[in-house]
Amino acid sequence: MKRRKFLQAGSAVATLPFWFPAASHAAGGWQGPLAVVLRGGRSYLEGRWQTPDVGITGEGKIHLGAPGSMTGAEIVDVSGKVVAPGFIDVLADNAANPERTYRIFEKYKVSDGVTTALQMHGGTPDCAAYYLKFGNMPHYINFGLSTFVMRIRLRTSSLTERQRQVEKTLEEGILGVSHSLEYQPNTSYEEVLSYARLAKKYQRPFFLHLRYSSEQDELKGVDEAIRIARESGAHVHIDHLHSTGGTYHMAEALNRIRTANASGLSMTCCVYPYSYWATYLSSARYGEGWQQRYNLTYSDLRLVGTGERLTKESFARYKGMSKLAAVPEGTLPLDKTVDLALREEFCMIGSDGGIEYEPNANSHPRGAGCFSTAIRHMLDIGMPLEKALEKVTLLPRNLVMPAMKDRGILAEGQVADIVVLDPVVIKGKASVENPNQFSDGISRVYVNGKLAYTPGKLGSAAGVGIRYR
């Protein structure tokens, strides 16, 4: 199946004819005791909101039944709440020092309703070794990665060797290939195309941080991504389009992607629901001419984790420390960027973030509050809850198929990655001054059928590695 059909195919799976068994262990369904029954909550099934019993088997699978029909070791009243698939973050980021920081990273993901964090913007240059090492460690949530082309390029100047190492990760089961052209602008088009062709060979997505973010050139980056999709045949996913590619020309960027898909290409994008970006002062984005490029001054920048306003002197000091600074709120006006993108069926939510340190991380607040903030924002702009949930479950699931075939939808026999949320109060609390904050409105999170989070409290560590085998 062509990846450009992934949305339609996924929607078809999500709306297959659904029925409630006459009894809790009806013939053809689950037979045996249930570990947990979630009762009284609303779930979106068969194209409408319903209130099924949602059971979790001892093996961590989902069993659905009529309201009040199931028995189990634990009956949990979730009346007034919504029971949904766990959120899937395709653009999680914890590449700097994961062995030291991954538990903190996962702590703030699961408290935001995320059950699977996929690092498809970066990842690892060593697939088998990474999964072997981290697979033996306890995880609050499921994890997965893409090939970190930037790091492979730093290892060797030989294009042949770079390609060999990328292909090796694909052979070992990596979920996709990713590259960040703005941060390694010396990468030629031909080299990028070769990586995309490898992704296509193994039927994996190619994640791309575009080459340009300036007002004058950003659409050139969108055009380059479209050309890569056309000439490679790969599914190309554009990372955080509103901060790189559509900041100043979002309507036109979306139109170009929409037209490309209509012509038979396969492309998606993601956004995060914040009106400002943040990145490391040592990165190319803060290279020579950044003030003119973004119409910013030193005092516009805030040090993430404290909110300190920068000066010329502190900018230089923190640049040497590779600290992360945020631009002013409103730099990415949501009504002209994110809101336009969210109308498109090819756009989903991706955090591009992760919390790495405590008690105060130098990390964009999207690392802790992206998904609750996104749902709150989508509801506030009038998007139906079921469409908002698609942006954080079904769409990212379909992007990483078939590795995620057993997850991301609420259906009989699926893995019980589940979030129970309150749509009235859900919101992210993380801020530039204090990004280390749990989100409101996330009532319960189950990962592989085990309770991983309740408000303010971590539970089981039942997460597993997601890869192709």
Q: How far does CA 380 lie from the centroid of its chain?
A: 21
Spatial strand order in the sheet of 142-148: 87-89, 114-124, 142-148, 177-180, 206-209, 236-238, 267-271, 347-349
Mean pLDDT of 403-425: 98
Query: Which of 9-13, 206-210, 262-266 is the least confident region?
Result: 9-13
Task: Express each pLDDT in 100-144 by its tens digit.
Answer: 999 999 999 999 999 999 999 999 999 999 999 999 999 999 999
pLDDT value at 448 more than 90: yes
User: What's the confidence (pLDDT) of residue 27?
Assistant: 32
**Tokens representing 366?**
């999207």
* 154 and 162 Cβ atoms separated by less than 8 Å: no
Question: What is the tens place of the pLDDT at every residue in 41-85?
Answer: 999 999 999 999 999 999 999 999 999 999 999 999 999 999 999
435 — pLDDT class (breaks 50, 70, 90): very high
Percent of the chain having pLDDT more than 70? 93
Question: What is the pLDDT, as a whole number, of residue 36?
Answer: 98
Whether 32 shows a pLDDT value over 90: the answer reads no
Closest by Cα among 4, 47, 54 to 387: 47
Pick the range with the lowest mean pLDDT from 3-7, 223-227, 463-467: 3-7
Q: What pLDDT does 159 receive?
A: 98
Q: What is the pLDDT, as a whole number, of residue 233?
A: 98
User: Rounded CA gap, 305 and 356, in Å?
Assistant: 11
Reference 453, options 379, 368, 358; nearest CA is 368
Per-residue pLDDT at 33: 82
Query: Looking at residue 428, what is its pLDDT?
Result: 98
Average pLDDT, the chain: 93
Domains of the chain listed by start with CATH number: 85-278+330-406 (3.20.20.140), 279-328 (no CATH)
Q: What is the pLDDT of residues 287-337, one digit of tens each?
A: 999 999 999 999 999 999 999 999 999 999 999 999 999 999 999 999 999
Is 28 a residue whose pLDDT tops 90? no
Query: Can you say how many angstroms the Cα of residue 185 is from the centroid of all Cα atoms in its chain?
Result: 25
What integer pLDDT is reported at residue 16 of this predicted model?
32
Quote the CA–CA distance of 134 and 56 in Å, as a whole number.
26
- Which residue bears the tokens 């020092």? 97
Which two three-digit tokens encode residue 462? 């039942």
The torsion angles phi and psi of 73, rounded to 5 degrees, stand at -65, -30
415-to-58, 85, 86, 370, 463 alpha-carbon distances in Å: 11, 10, 10, 24, 11
pLDDT of amino acid 30 = 62
At position 266, the amino acid (one-letter code) is: S
Residue 87 has pLDDT above 70, yes or no: yes
Report the pLDDT value the prediction gives residue 379, as an integer from 0 to 100. Answer: 98
